Amino acid sequence: MSQLDKIDKNQLPLHIAIIMDGNGRWAQEKGEDRLFGHYQGVESVRNIVEGCAELGIEYLTLYAFSTENWDRPETEVTGLMELLAQTIRQEVSTLNKNNIKLQMIGNIEMLPDYARQSLQEAVDLTKANSGLTLIIALSYSSRWELLQAVKGIAADVKSGKIMPDQINENTLRHYLVTSAFPDPELMIRTSGEYRISNFLLYQLAYAELYFTDTRWPDFGKEHLYEAILNFQQRQRRFGKTGDQIQRESATDMH
Ligand code: IPE
Ligand code: IPE
Ligand code: MG
């Protein structure tokens, strides 16, 4: 029996975020070049995007390349950029067929022109779709995001657009690159690393975290279902007591 049958379709996480990690080690363990792992990783991306769309997940954010990843050897960075641009170009028709809307978060200015262009084209060509919103975090880091939000707020205070004492949580959210999306409810990291690596530090405040030893190229739909099932077994308390949450869900049912 597939784990899929055990998933409660009424209790799906609204937004899943994934740190797709372990491509390099997966390849090296097979005596292959790290780039081979990234190529295989694309296959996992296809499967997981399809799996989320089939389930009816509304938002999926994939961490594809961090600000810090620019410091990797030039051949790996170039290989990754070419793979990204090529994959996106190839996938546009599938995205449209599956009603998936592509969005990008990150410091896109750092990308080579050809990669930026093919990404922007794909975002444009899928913008009318109304199914799954697929958000690719590319040249992204949370500290970069928070810094540019602070600069944006400072500039608008200076020009008189907002007053300092009007700034609240909603104002801050508005200046984040994720302002159009709800916070992730489930965050998955593959490959046995237990860290956040500068990913959505603000937005993950109350996300359920799920770590698995499976390397990203081996991560398939069944692994996704496993993570969602695990999520559904947790009690999310948001600072309250377990008794309060139980009473609230009992009254919700009436
Ligand atoms: C994740 O796999 C993909 C990117 C960071 C681009 P890694 O390339 O980090 O693989 P490992 O962690 O070295 O195995
Ligand atoms: C995080 O993975 C970034 C992405 C998956 C894109 P890394 O492999 O770069 O993270 P660290 O360096 O192990 O923390
Ligand atoms: Mg890694």
End-to-end Cα separation, the chain, in angstroms: 32
pLDDT in tens, 44-66: 999 999 999 999 999 999 999 99
Atom 5, ligand 1: residue with shortest CA distance: 65
Flag whether 5 is in a domain: no
Cα(88)–Cα(101) distance, integer angstroms:
12
pLDDT in tens, 189-236: 999 999 999 999 999 999 999 999 999 999 999 999 999 999 999 999
Against a cut of 0.75, is the pTM above it?
yes
Flag whether 175 is in a domain: yes
Residue 139: CB within 6 Å of ligand 1? Answer: no
Cα(253)–Cα(248) distance, integer angstroms:
9
Flag whether 23 is in a domain: yes
| pLDDT number for residue 2 | 87
Flag whether 194 is in a domain: yes
For residue 34, report the distance from its CA to the centre of ligand 2, in Å: 14
| pLDDT number for residue 252 | 82
- Mean pLDDT for the chain overall: 97
Count of alpha carbons within 13 angstroms of residue 164, beta-carbon side: 2
Residues 25-39 have a mean pLDDT of 98
Residue 192: CB within 6 Å of ligand 2? Answer: no
Q: How confident is the model at residue 1 (pLDDT cuts 50, 70, 90)?
A: confident
The residue segments making up the domain with residue 217 are 10-253
Atom 11, ligand 2: residue with shortest CA distance: 197
| pLDDT number for residue 254 | 67
Q: Is the pLDDT of residue 246 over 70?
A: yes
Residue 43: CB within 6 Å of ligand 2? Answer: no
Ligand 2: which of 18, 20, 21 to mutate, most ligand atoms within 8 Å of CB? 21
Residue 23: CB within 6 Å of ligand 2? Answer: no
Residue 22: CB within 6 Å of ligand 1? Answer: yes
For residue 21, report the distance from its CA to the centre of ligand 2, in Å: 6
Closest C-alpha among 142, 75, 132, 76 to residue 106: 142
pLDDT in tens, 6-25: 999 999 999 999 999 999 99
The three-state secondary structure class of 252 is: helix
pLDDT in tens, 102-133: 999 999 999 999 999 999 999 999 999 999 99
For residue 208, report the distance from its CA to the centre of ligand 1, in Å: 22
* Domain count for the chain: 1
Ion ligand 3 nearby residues (CB, 5 A): 21
Flag whether 79 is in a domain: yes
Flag whether 2 is in a domain: no
| DSSP for 103-169, written as a single string | EEES-GGGS-HHHHHHHHHHHHHTTT--S-EEEEEEEE-HHHHHHHHHHHHHHHHHTTSS-GGG--H
Flag whether 169 is in a domain: yes
Residue 184: CB within 6 Å of ligand 1? Answer: no
Flag whether 103 is in a domain: yes
Which positions are catalytic? Answer: 21, 69
Q: What is the CATH number of the domain that holds 158?
A: 3.40.1180.10
pLDDT in tens, 141-183: 999 999 999 999 999 999 999 999 999 999 999 999 999 999 9
